[in-house]
Structure 1
Amino acid sequence: MYTIGQLSRLSGLPVKTIRFYSDSGVLPEYERTPAGYRLYREEDRARLEVIRTLREIGVDLSTIRGLGDRDLRDVLTLHLEAVETRLRSLQRTRAVLRATLDRTDPTDEDLRRLNALGRYGAAEMRRLANDFADDVASGNAALDEWFACLREAMVPDLPDEPTIEQLDAWLELTELLATDDYRESLRGQGSDFWDDANEMDLAAWQQASARVMEEATAALRAGVEPDSPAAAPILARIVALNAEGRRQPYDAAFWRTLRKEYDEHDPRSHRYWELIYTIRGLQWPPEQVTAHRWIGDALRRHDHPAG
């Protein structure tokens, strides 16, 4: 057993520091003497060395207090993750500062960007995207499963040296994810489809959707205009494939339903993925988006063969 003075001499730390660690709960004393002096054990001496090392590399007291008897490897792994997160945040800030200073006359918008980036790192973006997906799915099993497949794609990694365009896309993405009106729009958009999807064969629907994309992209590559007579038989096959995938009859009513879905598609969804592509430095739009635009345009210009 050591008194606080003995522990101070053995560790080289001031009594005041050890007392502070004890009062903070990171190094509780083992017991006290009848006179009220704190007593520590040999294992407390060893723990004090760990605390000192962790403090020297920047681990905060609340983290140390919550570690309890966890393995030291776990402690260091957690700290490494925290350091890497701070480094990425600092790199983003550095990129903004460099880009801002390259301008002859920085503006208030540059300050807004710096402030916002301090609030929205990768962890905040991931939490926001998860909350967005849970809110839009609203307990629908099929929609929740679909979001589960998209969650990784929904949260892009900001480059270590992002451009101003990528930084602005990152901030716009956080604003879009938090927009209640957009969430409400997506809950209503295609609600009938997702309600029926719980009873659908999703694998068969995905296969049909893949064939729809093949038909539409082939038309695009062949230069078939959506309002041309040549588009009509291609569109008929696309609508029939959609009906097959959803186990719906291929008739004029389904044709109108599909047209309505394309007409009511929220343009902010395209903007969402455009922002993702901008952050990742990819060319927009991808062929799949162009193919869906072709289908929407063709549906507005052609009716079901039966009228």
Structure 2
Amino acid sequence: MSYTIGQLAKLSGLTVKTIRFYSDTGVLPERGRTRGGYRLYEDEDRVRLELVRTLREIGVDLATIRSLGERDLRQVLSLHLRAVEAQITSLQRTRAVLRATLERDTPSDDDLRRLNALGRLGAAETAALVNEFVDAVSGGNAAREEWLGGLRAAMVPDLPEEPSVGQLDAWLELTELLADDGFRASLRETATGFWRNAAAIDPTAWHEANALATRKALAAVREGVDPGSAAAAPVVTEILSLLAEAQGRTPEAVARDYAGHDPRASRYWELMATLDDAPWPPEPVVAHEWIGAAAAYHVA
């Protein structure tokens, strides 16, 4: 069925002026004209006009709507759904901050900082920040870039739908870490020897050696072996030798990697665990912290 612009205005509740503007700007292309020169529209235009109005109400700009072109309705509705879900998520996060703020008598600077950050950093901006971080840390090393690429998805911090104040603070700290040039430079310089020779390392042998080293360190932790005790010396010596052989390096070089470990790297994953409401620390972290502490005592 065909409609004139006046009929479409009555059906949609929009003014003729608004519909004419949408048509003139290409947001709602006209289907044709009568012999008298009046614009004609079809039933699908009624649906599209309703969608345009809805997208405009949730803040989607005209350029984006115009770019939809002649995509089918399913594609357009999928875009609409994503926009609505993004808006709901944003509002839920803002609600969590406002609730936490109102529980106190006087709002603090931290409360304002949370609100400001939520307004600046959405999901897309955070993902872009992770991409920049990975590029900066890889430093042109193909092996490290590939390894970081595999972690990229797991590195994107995302708030739960109903975040606690602790999770909000963890998310803010994570975004600050990602943007920290000093942290990026530190990770780029850490274990340079390992990454320089990574292409020559047998991945299977490396993973097996790392798994065995982790088991031996955890056994020492469970037995209550203090990293600085004499009992720790033969254990850490064996562990470093295992790792060194798998990497084609010396035990002393591996020990230097542990000594140069930036604690902010562990903090990053601790904050991710906070966001995921997961226990911390996991066993591999416990193991490698013990190895690093023991190496500092027993390796010259």
User: Which residue of structure 2 lines up, in the alignment, with residue 176 of structure 1?
Assistant: 177
3-state SS, counterpart of residue 284 of structure 1: coil
CA contact (8 A) 2:227 2:294 kept: yes
1:192, distance to aligned residue in structure 2 (A): 2.2
1:132, distance to aligned residue in structure 2 (A): 0.8
Distance change >3 Å, CA 168–CA 10, structure 1 → 2: closer
User: Which residue of structure 2 lines up, in the alignment, with residue 160 of structure 1?
Assistant: 161
3-state SS, counterpart of residue 96 of structure 2: helix
User: Which residue of structure 1 lines up, in the alignment, with residue 128 of structure 2?
Assistant: 127
CA distance, structure 1, for counterparts of residue 231 and residue 42 of structure 2? 83
Structure 1 vs Structure 2 CA RMSD: 2.4
Aligned with residue 285 of structure 1, among 260, 281, 286? 281
CA contact (8 A) 2:216 2:235 kept: yes
CA distance, structure 2, for counterparts of residue 284 and residue 99 of structure 1? 25
3-state SS, counterpart of residue 223 of structure 1: coil
1:133, distance to aligned residue in structure 2 (A): 0.9
CA distance, structure 1, for counterparts of residue 74 and residue 257 of structure 2? 53
- Which digits, 9 at most, give the CA deviation of each residue in 1:277-302, with x for residues without a partner? 22222333222222112111111221
Any unmatched runs of 5+ in structure 2?
none
- Which digits, 9 at most, give the CA deviation of each residue in 1:132-153, with x for residues without a partner? 1122113322112211222232
CA distance, structure 1, for counterparts of residue 29 and residue 299 of structure 2? 78
Is 1:274 the counterpart of 2:270? The answer is yes
1:258, distance to aligned residue in structure 2 (A): 1.7
User: Which residue of structure 1 lines up, in the alignment, with residue 193 of structure 2?
Assistant: 192
CA contact (8 A) 2:243 2:251 kept: no
Which AA in structure 1 matches 2:48?
I
1:262, distance to aligned residue in structure 2 (A): 1.4
User: Which residue of structure 1 lines up, in the alignment, with residue 112 of structure 2?
Assistant: 111
Which AA in structure 2 matches 1:203?
T
User: Which residue of structure 2 lines up, in the alignment, with residue 251 of structure 1?
Assistant: none
CA distance, structure 2, for counterparts of residue 303 and residue 181 of structure 1? 28
Any unmatched runs of 5+ in structure 1?
249-253
- The two structures have a TM-score, normalised by structure 1, of 0.86
3-state SS, counterpart of residue 71 of structure 2: coil
CA contact (8 A) 1:7 1:45 kept: no
- Which digits, 9 at most, give the CA deviation of each residue in 1:56-113, with x for residues without a partner? 4335333321111212111111111111111111001101111110111212321121
- The two structures have a TM-score, normalised by structure 2, of 0.88
Is 1:262 the counterpart of 2:258? The answer is yes
